[in-house]
Homo-oligomer: A and B are copies of this chain.
Amino acid sequence: MTAHPNPMFAKVALIGIGLIGSSLAWAMRRADLAAHIAGYAPHRETLEKAKALGFADSLHDDPAQAVRNADLVVLAAPVGAFAGLAPKIAPQLKPGAILSDVGSVKTAVIRDVGPHVPQGVHFIPAHPIAGTEQSGPEAGFAELFDGRWCILTPPEGADPAAVETLKTFWMRCGSEVDVMDAGHHDLVLAITSHVPHLIAYNIVGTAADLETVTQGEVIKYSAGGFRDFTRIAASDPTMWRDIFLNNREAVLEMLGRFNEDLTALQRAIRWGDGDALFNLFTRTRAIRRSIVDAGQDTAAPNFGRGKKKSQ
């Protein structure tokens, strides 16, 4: 490992200062990674909240101004906004700067941003797999990335030194870092994140529309499992709309598999095939154990809810 000067960068620009952007600012402050943190948001209200919270050294309603002279620029807006942002910031990017992002899809980001990146700027997309169902600058906190994976998807021919720098940056933000191909990333995230969100949104919608069961009943008796889905289905609507529109192929592929398996399960219920149900339910338990063992979740039953001590 190389020794790193403190701070790591003279200036970092965050293009978007919601949950992820503001958490990144706090994580940078915690590890002293930037002498100057510039934040951009399109709305005055967001900028004012950010000002009060104090995680940025300068705040801008013009993205071109925010990125000026920055050594690292991180796009942290919903991915649907990237195609509009890229041409605005491109002329101001400093030669030698790293341009990265935190988008949940990577092929579409390379498609939308790649063509605008000036010669001499290192474009290295990234995706920290961390978040909560809350959004906005007030939702951020420094520990969000601790122990979570951040996936870098450098395009072919990316500068190895710049990749290494970005890797170090995320590790100092608390993450573990992996590098993979953008297409593979999109497939992995489709099954571990995008389809789970889609079916959580879907069942919450289904429950709200029933005539035989009232919405009041759904809310009252949600402790049986439904409420966990509602947490996921409370995530930022704009961000998630953009994810589904920009990872269409992979989401539809995984959704096809999900539907096929669900049909088989439906058939097992209809025909009373208890063994098929029992075998699946036993197999899935083992996967839970692996996730807890891998440090990606807590072993506390019911996420620690209901135990007096932890409330």
Contact = CB atoms under 8 A, between A and B. Distances in A.
Interface of A: 80, 104, 129-134, 139, 141, 143-144, 146, 148-149, 151, 178, 184, 187-189, 191-210, 212-213, 215, 217-235, 237-238, 240-242, 244-245, 248, 251-252, 254-255, 257-259, 261-262, 265-266, 269-270, 272, 274, 277-278, 280-285, 287-291, 294, 296-298, 301-308, 310-311
A305 B306 contact: no
B220 A132 contact: no
Contact of A288 (B148, B188, B234, B255): B234
With a 10 A CB-CB cut-off, give which of A184, A204, A225 has the most chain B CB atoms: A225
Contact of A222 (B143, B225, B237, B297): B297
Contact of A306 (B144, B229, B262): B144
Nearest to A258: B206
Given A251-B269, A302-B133, A288 B233 contact: yes
B220 A280 contact: no
A70 to B, nearest CB: 28
B302 A132 contact: yes
B213 A203 contact: no
Nearest to A189: B224
Highest count of chain B CB atoms <10 Å: which of A178, A197, A201: A201
Contact of A201 (B226, B242, B284): B284
Given A196-B226, A199-B199, A259 B257 contact: no
Contacts of A205: 261, 280, 283-284
Contact of A237 (B261, B285, B301): B285
A222 B187 contact: no
A233 B285 CA distance: 6
Contacts of A225: 192-194, 196-197, 200, 232
Contact of A208 (B200, B208, B255, B283): B283
Given A191-B218, A277-B240, A223 B284 contact: no
A241 B193 contact: no
24 contacts: A80-B274, A130-B306, A132-B301, A146-B308, A148-B223, A192-B225, A192-B226, A199-B199, A201-B265, A206-B254, A206-B257, A208-B284, A210-B257, A219-B296, A222-B291, A231-B297, A234-B288, A235-B281, A238-B278, A240-B281, A248-B270, A251-B269, A255-B262, A310-B310
